[in-house]
Structure 1
């Protein structure tokens, strides 16, 4: 699995339906190897594998592919049958039309449509399913999953011209532009995404054997797309994460090495990242932060060695950065994480910085608010 990550807001959101149904969420987090302590840190992120495990656990616990987030439940297997109904279509337009008709058969579910607006073809969520606050994220998830699945059907990333969401911007609104690879507007008239209608004629290149493999790995597969469907920012971020997997001697590559890897100049790399709403420094800072949290939560690596591996010239610089990220020190964070993981010890109130309201997320079987960007 690649290294892109998911914001903790979406972890909280994925648990919203389970909480409303009176289920104990701590065992769900623990089964997915997500420390409950992280839910108190608004900038925390988890890996696609962790998030995938959480989505699977909540889906089983609720018996609902919408994770208890929609006005009406979606029986397990519904998403798979929709995919099987679409994979035999000749082109993307036929597949999207069939998907919208399929979900239209279920009362209380999403009202999806494929429309023409001026020069654009538009995938639209006509109802935002907003019986509960969490369902903002269900609507967001429907757009993201549709885009990932459409790209999978045609074997390449479907370029979007724009995306819009018919609700106010959440605290993590800047997640979506890099995720979808296009300008994103909140407070739009409708939720949906527009693209060049010529893509409707793109042939569906997948078959049922490939779909079985996709469904076996879902949601992880739709969270972790291959480089052919990734933005440059996602590819750079993955390269940074992979660089840290080489053990204790691993180091993050500098900008010149990354530019050489992607066969572009440093200036071009900076410009293209800027066009996608990010920068090398921002991506590096995010990867450092996530690696620091993981290293302190799960490992026994000395803090000084961890600081050096993350590219800090001295311990004090690492301590300053970590306090900026979390509002606490590396040592205090490690002690709290170890105490929380001790047998028989209930989760403690976290001492991390809280900077935004808690927010819930998708209820799709793929639960895919995926990815990672700061």
Structure 2
């Protein structure tokens, strides 16, 4: 399946902590194979491996599992110790409670809370983390994915809420969290069915060590938790593109989802997106991943993505990212002294020393942004 890409807004956000501490972030960006010039264009996006490498670079530079974003340093190994403590719990609810209590022991640490609200279980973040809402969002995402990993099951989110006004890239959030979202809430958090709290843990210390060695890739990897219609449509499109440049039509997807085309169109509109926008986003993400991680000629990449002409692909890519395919590939291939490892999880773990101190609670930062509302009209051949 084509990997999702991440908006440059999240790249800027994750750099803020290091910048506040006087760290020169340009070498870190180059170490992650992210062209610094991309940060100047709101349309720009990066791949999940690029973003994960940036987390690694920031972790090395700050020696802080919160990457300088919190009011206090979270020393390397803190997250691993919390996970070790949680493994001994009888069920997921007890594990989350223990994790929240664990972080509450540290002055300036995150104020995590698990509560019941109506018919939902809610995991939330309180306190001054809202001053840097990116960290609060990271914590909600990482805990959601960690909980799913602990029980070996996908936990669908019913909703997510954020204690800040809608940002310019608000359209990213529904595809990122895979559920309806709202802004301006009292705190940042997410709701899910309470029966998941009774699920037993299925991981042991060996599995935890392996997950930590692979962090942040293990928890950055997009799991198909999404329950929105847009998420379902996007999954169908991404799977189809993996085997053919011809993507299924709106009618074909509607038939697969057992609804009429009109109903599917209406439900997508209710989620502030459309079939065409999702189709564009899937092709855009596959294009960026192909340029960064692959070596096929640009003309072959364009054909694989369903573009009838190279020029059409170049025009679409420039609108998606603000640059040309050739320039994007050249910038990301530029060698860097600090980038001495490849993008594979195992290589990245080895480069960082692996073990329990590799990766922290920010390792699952906003990573799967779908960007469904880019407003880019695909110039790919229609099938």
Shorter chain as normaliser: what TM range? Answer: 0.7 to 0.9
Q: CA deviation at 1:277?
A: 5.7
Q: Does 1:102 align with 2:108?
A: no
Say whether the 8 Å CA contact 1:37–1:337 is kept in structure 2.
no
Q: Over residues 67-120 of structure 1, what are the superposed CA-to-partner deviations in whole Å (9 max), with x where a residue is unaligned?
A: 011111100111111111112211111011101100000111111111222332
Once the two structures are superposed, the pairs formed by residues 78-93 of structure 1 within 5 Å of their partners are: 78-93=78-93
- Indicate which of 309, 315, 336 corresponds to 2:304: 309
Q: Taking structure 1 as reference, are residues 244 and 147 closer, same or farther at Cα in structure 2, changes over 3 Å only?
A: same
Q: Taking structure 1 as reference, are residues 196 and 57 closer, same or farther at Cα in structure 2, changes over 3 Å only?
A: same
Q: CA deviation at 1:225?
A: 4.1
Once the two structures are superposed, the pairs formed by residues 210-249 of structure 1 within 5 Å of their partners are: 210-227=207-224, 229=225, 237=234
Q: Over residues 302-359 of structure 1, what are the superposed CA-to-partner deviations in whole Å (9 max), with x where a residue is unaligned?
A: 655543332222345334433433455x3xx635864797689xxxxxxxxxxxxxxx
Q: CA deviation at 1:64?
A: 0.4
More moved, 302-311 vs 102-111: 302-311
Q: How many residues align?
A: 345
Q: Taking structure 1 as reference, are residues 179 and 50 closer, same or farther at Cα in structure 2, changes over 3 Å only?
A: same
Once the two structures are superposed, the pairs formed by residues 155-174 of structure 1 within 5 Å of their partners are: 155-174=152-171
Q: 1: distance between equivalents of 2:293 and 2:204?
A: 40
Q: 1: distance between equivalents of 2:55 and 2:185?
A: 28
Say whether the 8 Å CA contact 2:159–2:181 is kept in structure 1.
yes
Q: 2: distance between equivalents of 1:167 and 1:259?
A: 35
Give the aligned partner of residue 358 of structure 1.
Answer: none
5+ unaligned residues in a row in structure 2: which ranges? 337-359, 372-383
- 1:158 aligned counterpart, secondary structure: coil
Give the aligned partner of residue 354 of structure 2.
Answer: none
Q: 1: distance between equivalents of 2:259 and 2:311?
A: 30
5+ unaligned residues in a row in structure 1: which ranges? 345-362
Q: 2: distance between equivalents of 1:304 and 1:215?
A: 39
Give the aligned partner of residue 318 of structure 1.
Answer: 313
- 2:302 aligned counterpart, secondary structure: helix
Q: 1: distance between equivalents of 2:43 and 2:158?
A: 28
Say whether the 8 Å CA contact 1:157–1:230 is kept in structure 2.
no
TM-score normalised by structure 1 residue count: 0.79
TM-score normalised by structure 2 residue count: 0.77
Q: 1: distance between equivalents of 2:330 and 2:368?
A: 27
Q: CA deviation at 1:126?
A: 1.7
- 2:4 aligned counterpart, secondary structure: coil
- Indicate which of 279, 284, 294 corresponds to 1:289: 284
Q: 2: distance between equivalents of 1:48 and 1:335?
A: 20
Q: Taking structure 1 as reference, are residues 87 and 235 closer, same or farther at Cα in structure 2, changes over 3 Å only?
A: farther
- 1:185 aligned counterpart, secondary structure: strand
Q: 2: distance between equivalents of 1:297 and 1:191?
A: 33
Q: 2: distance between equivalents of 1:207 and 1:127?
A: 32
Q: CA deviation at 1:243?
A: 6.5
Q: 1: distance between equivalents of 2:50 and 2:251?
A: 30
Q: 2: distance between equivalents of 1:300 and 1:177?
A: 32
Say whether the 8 Å CA contact 2:135–2:362 is kept in structure 1.
no
Q: 2: distance between equivalents of 1:339 and 1:116?
A: 48
- 1:14 aligned counterpart, secondary structure: helix
Give the aligned partner of residue 113 of structure 1.
Answer: 113
Q: Taking structure 1 as reference, are residues 38 and 9 closer, same or farther at Cα in structure 2, changes over 3 Å only?
A: same
Q: CA deviation at 1:176?
A: 2.0
Q: Taking structure 1 as reference, are residues 237 and 196 closer, same or farther at Cα in structure 2, changes over 3 Å only?
A: closer
